[in-house]
Amino acid sequence: MDFDWSTYPIAKSGAATPQEIEESFEDPHGLRLLPDSARFSSESRIFSLGKTLSGRGIFAVFRPDGKRIQVISARAFAPEEEYFYER
């Protein structure tokens, strides 16, 4: 799938570059999670946890449309996400 970078994701701290985000999606050990909260269930959102080639963990929220991936938000792993990914 291709990425739609028409709207660049906003993250206050630990912002990830488009290259890092794309690398994290190519991580063979990466995780894709469907949210279970009511807030996200009405919207087409998926969570992604993956690592870049340099080993930086990236947490991303994205919306697929079948042809493209639109990244809504992306940032570095929080300590809990790092632990979850490593388990």
The domain locations on the chain are 2-86
Contacts (Cβ under 8 Å, ≥6 apart) of 68:
1, 2, 3, 4
Using DSSP, how many helices (H) and how many strands (E) does the chain show? 3, 5
* pTM as predicted: 0.85
- CA-wise closest residue to 37 among 65, 61, 53: 61
Alpha-carbon gap, residue 71 to 3, rounded angstroms: 8
- pLDDT for residue 81 is more than 70: yes
Q: Which of 64 and 15 is assigned the larger pLDDT?
A: 64
- pLDDT for the residue 24: 96
